[in-house]
A = this chain, B = another copy of it.
Amino acid sequence: MAMESVANSVQLPPLDNPNERSAVGAELQVVLQDLIDLSLIGKQLHWSVVGAAAHSVHLFLDELVGEWRELADVVAERAVTLGFVPDGQSSAVAAGSRVEAVEVQSLADHAVVWELGRRVAAVAERIRERLGSIGAADLVTQDVLIKVVGMLEKHQWLLRVQLGQKA
């Protein structure tokens, strides 16, 4: 075959079984939408936190948002690598994310930490439940999501220790 005439040919997908690929892509879209929603809520709280610890929380939220944006990019790129285009636009995130919105007003620092902490925990738990079945379909995707869970759980710890006497 001449090299010059191949530009519109089909490509090999990285996974052999289209059904599995589609299923893994759909799992990744759910994670993507949760991560984007976390990053938007994180910014929302970055702007609306008040109280004695407001400045520390304000700065810490920007670090979390930065890491969630990074994770969202990794997750979305894994999906398209598998041939699945996920939807990460505002309407899709608003419809598909399982993360609750926060109130639009000034929020006390401890409330910010509490509200964000339980959302982060919930997202981590939901991904963790799917690690096994995803691993059966694709070890690379599982490895990506193990990192996501590990980071979210660490974030949840960093948040929950700010709430009380016991970590």
A108 part of interface (Cβ distance < 8 Å): yes
Q: Give the number of times this chain occurs in the complex, counting copies.
A: 12
List residues of A (106-145) whose CB comes within 8 Å of B's CBs.
106-111, 114-115, 117-118, 121-122, 124-125, 128, 131, 135, 139-140, 142-144
Q: Contact between A167 and B106 (Cβ–Cβ < 8 Å)?
A: yes
Q: Contact between B165 and A108 (Cβ–Cβ < 8 Å)?
A: yes
Q: Which of B101, B115, B153 contacts A3 (CB 8 A)?
A: B115
Q: Contact between A87 and B143 (Cβ–Cβ < 8 Å)?
A: no
Q: Contact between A6 and B80 (Cβ–Cβ < 8 Å)?
A: no
Interface centre among A43, A124, A139, A161 (most CB of B within 10 A): A161
How many of chain A's residues have a CB under 8 angstroms from any CB in B? 93
Interface residues of A (CB under 8 A from B): 3-4, 6-9, 11-12, 14, 36-37, 40-41, 43-44, 47-58, 60, 72-73, 76-81, 83, 85-95, 97, 101-111, 114-115, 117-118, 121-122, 124-125, 128, 131, 135, 139-140, 142-144, 146-147, 149-150, 153-154, 156-158, 160-167
Can you list 8 A-B pairs, Cβ within 8 angstroms, ordered by A? Answer: A3-B108, A11-B117, A11-B121, A12-B156, A50-B167, A51-B162, A106-B165, A131-B139
Residues on B with beta carbons closer than 8 Å to the beta carbon of A83: 167
A53 to chain B, nearest CB (A): 5
Q: Contact between A88 and B43 (Cβ–Cβ < 8 Å)?
A: yes
A40 to chain B, nearest CB (A): 5
